[in-house]
Amino acid sequence: MLSPHVKCIGRQLTQLSPYSPAALGSRVKYLLDTPETIWGCLDSKDYLEASRRYVRSAEVHRALMGHSKHILARFPLLQHQWPLVKKFRWAGSLSNRQLGGRWSGG
């Protein structure tokens, strides 16, 4: 049986707005960590995971930019970070070649 304290924390997490400071911070951190993570995947020749990370980061970026004025005012580094991540778009073609063209993205 869960303690009342644990139940309260669980309720708070499920009620957490996708644009709360904690949620925004985790999304921004995800984007900031992406170039290093993709380089690690490429170094280990895990092209599929590099491609997946790029796609997920593009989705996170798109979601954040839906509220761009608010987000960029709080996290100005995002303006400089996304172009760095965007340079990895070619990693998807590597993952497709690695799998012999059999991967259709799903």
Instruction: List Cα–Cα distances, 91 to 45, 96, 99, in angstroms.
Output: 11, 9, 13
> What is the pLDDT, as a whole number, of residue 34?
94
**Domain count of the fold of the chain:** 1
pTM: 0.67
- Measured CA to CA, the distance from residue 63 to residue 58 in angstroms comes to 9
- Measured CA to CA, the distance from residue 35 to residue 82 in angstroms comes to 10
83: in domain: yes
Q: How confident is the model at residue 92 (pLDDT cuts 50, 70, 90)?
A: low
What range does the domain containing 40 cover?
A: 18-97
10: in domain: no
**pLDDT tens-digit series, residues 9-59:** 444 444 556 667 888 889 989 999 999 999 999 999 888 899 899 999 999
**pLDDT tens-digit series, residues 62-82:** 888 877 777 888 888 888 888
**pLDDT tens-digit series, residues 31-43:** 999 999 999 999 9
> What is the pLDDT, as a whole number, of residue 32?
92
105: in domain: no
